[in-house]
Amino acid sequence: MKDPNEINVVDAIIEKSAFNIAQQWDTYFLEGLKRKGFEFDNPLDAQYFVKANCKCAEDLKGNRTYYVKGIPFFHFKPSNTMDIDRDFSKPDIVFTASIGEYSYL
């Protein structure tokens, strides 16, 4: 049986990684809107705007195209596998992961 402290460390890494990925996703998404001329002073304004004006279309392969007011602005191609790199040469263990590819339209 695993040491409970090891499980807590793994849970913490997963939680922090998920949070970082969500933050980065928001950054990419908002940059796509900015490139189409939509900028926001605060996250709440952005949230209301996205709910009212943005849509997503997904193809059969799972690729997603995001639209603002009917205009495509962001494309996401998810990865079928999560690539994880570990770097044990540094004092802290560093993991990097890729969940897919994106492009601005």
User: For residue 26, what are the domain limits?
Assistant: 4-104
Q: What percent of the chain has pLDDT over 90?
A: 50
Q: Say whether pLDDT at 81 is over 90.
A: no
pLDDT mean over 59-74: 96
Q: Return the bridge partners of 41, or none.
A: none
Per the structure, the count of domains in the chain is 1
> Closest Cα partner for 75 from 31, 37, 105?
105
Flag whether the pTM goes above 0.75: no
Q: Read off the pLDDT of each residue in 53-60 and give the average, rounded to a whole number.
A: 96
Q: Which amino acid is at 13?
A: I
pLDDT tens digits, one per residue of 15-53:
887 788 888 888 999 999 999 999 999 999 999 999 999
Residue where the block lists tokens 């926001």? 40
pLDDT over 80 at 86, yes or no: no
